[in-house]
Amino acid sequence: MTPGSVPRIGPGFRLQWEAAQDCHVLLYPEGMVKLNGSAGHIMARCDGKKRIAEIVAELETAFNASGLERDVMGFIDIAAGKRWLVEAVPQPSSP
């Protein structure tokens, strides 16, 4: 994926906050993946509507940080390789 890609949760996976685990988890038929804080914040923004560049900008604003693109892209590449994330086709904006 590139900064212009629009990621979404892959088929067969479901992201949810798990209070008992105190973190986001990724559920799938065979089990569960417990996500660390950074991964949870990234995955929660992969809604099939925002481009990666927009997700990076949101995270940089939310955490008062800069230069996060490399780390975000690195995680997204790993998540895409595991099929946790797939590229969505962006929907055209309504006039």
Query: pTM of this prediction?
Result: 0.90
Determine the average pLDDT of the residues in 15-33. Answer: 95
Residue 95 has pLDDT above 70, yes or no: no
Residue 93 in domain: no
pLDDT score recorded for residue 89: 76
**What's 50's domain CATH number?**
1.10.10.1150
Q: How far is CA 58 from CA 3, 13, 25, 51, in A?
A: 13, 23, 21, 11
Determine the average pLDDT of the residues in 9-13. Answer: 97
Residue 2 in domain: no
Residue 32 in domain: yes
Residue 36 in domain: yes
Residue 94 has pLDDT above 60, yes or no: no
Domain that holds residue 15: 8-82
Residue 43 has pLDDT above 60, yes or no: yes
Hey, which bits of 1-95 come out as E strands?
6-9, 14-18, 23-28, 31-34, 85-88
Residue 62 in domain: yes
Determine the average pLDDT of the residues in 27-56. Answer: 96
Residue 3 in domain: no
Give percent of the chain above pLDDT 70: 94
Structural domains counted in the chain: 1
Residue whose tokens read 């590139």: 2
Residue 91 in domain: no
